[in-house]
A and B are shown apart, each in its own frame.
Chain A
Amino acid sequence: DVKVTQSSRYLVKRTGEKVFLECVQDMDHENMFWYRQDPGLGLRLIYFSYDVKMKEKGDIPEGYSVSREKKERFSLILESASTNQTSMYLCASSGAGGYNEQFFGPGTRLTVL
């Protein structure tokens, strides 16, 4: 059974803290993605990666960075968390090629106080 796991389901952090969100997939997928989901805005792409050590900005990269040191792991980093980064964060992965469906993790609900 294919799986994408995220390190935390719920996280509460304070403004200014550095936050790490981890994502691991066991499908040997080349592509990995980070989204945030907000009411009325759908899923918005933050960053994605097509290969180890490669990263591409999505639609809303400001305030975030990513790291992909191993094929199966993709980390999202909030260098200095702010209240407007309170959101549901979703990680996804897909195989190489343009039409492969993305498989999602369960999400991390991050609250920044």
Chain B
Amino acid sequence: DQQVKQNSPSLSVQEGRISILNCDYTNSMFDYFLWYKKYPAEGPTFLISISSIKDKNEDGRFTVFLNKSAKHLSLHIVPSQPGDSAVYFCAASGMGKLIFGQGTELSVKP
């Protein structure tokens, strides 16, 4: 039973445009959400997070939006750059551990 889902395995965007990565969750008890970025042959690195008491958190080109009623969060990258090409995982914090989605592979074309 997948509690955190990323339904798009891949996404391709042009350099300079917006990338939107989506994530859905089922457990309303999750109270903190994170996005990680992973390059091939490296471990995931933390990107941005949001508490469930907020609906938006921004850090430079990266913004995370949380819609609690829909149990949905999204990561916006504006403008997208070729160096953003990686696999992005969303994660939800619950019971002292993180539950990860399946990941979305983002490809930013020059």
Contact call A101/B44, Cβ cutoff below 8 A: no
By beta carbon, the residue of chain A nearest B5 is A42
Which of B49, B89, B99, B100 contacts A101 (CB under 8 A)?
Answer: B49
Decide: A42 near B89, CB < 8 A? Known: A99-B32, A107-B41: yes
Contact call B43/A90, Cβ cutoff below 8 A: yes
- The main secondary structure of chain B at its interface with chain A is strand
Chain A proximity of B110: nearest CB distance (Å): 26
Q: Which residues does chain A contribute within 8 Å of B49, judged by CB atoms?
A: 99, 101
Number of A-B residue pairs having CB atoms within 8 Å of each other in the complex = 53
Decide: A48 near B97, CB < 8 A? Known: A42-B103, A101-B34: yes
Q: Which residues does chain A contribute within 8 Å of B101, judged by CB atoms?
A: 42
A61 close to chain B: CB less than 8 A: no
By beta carbon, the residue of chain B nearest A44 is B100
Q: Which residues does chain A contribute within 8 Å of B98, judged by CB atoms?
A: 45, 102
By beta carbon, the residue of chain A nearest B94 is A98
Q: Which residues does chain A contribute within 8 Å of B59, judged by CB atoms?
A: none
Q: Which residues does chain B contribute within 8 Å of A50, judged by CB atoms?
A: 96
Chain B residues bordering chain A, tally (CB within 8 A) = 25
Decide: A105 near B100, CB < 8 A? Known: A42-B89, A43-B89: no
Contact call A33/B97, Cβ cutoff below 8 A: yes
Contact call B102/A41, Cβ cutoff below 8 A: yes
Contact call A99/B93, Cβ cutoff below 8 A: yes
Contact call B32/A104, Cβ cutoff below 8 A: no
Using a CB–CB distance below 8 Å, which chain A residues touch chain B?
4, 9, 31, 33, 35, 40-45, 48, 50, 58, 90, 92, 98-99, 101-107
Which 9 pairs show the lowest CB-CB distances between chains A and B?
A104-B43, A43-B100, A42-B102, A101-B46, A42-B100, A104-B44, A99-B32, A106-B43, A105-B43
Known A35-B100, A44-B100; 15 more pairs at CB < 8 Å: A31-B96, A40-B102, A42-B6, A42-B89, A58-B97, A90-B44, A92-B43, A98-B96, A99-B49, A99-B51, A101-B34, A101-B46, A106-B41, A106-B43, A107-B41
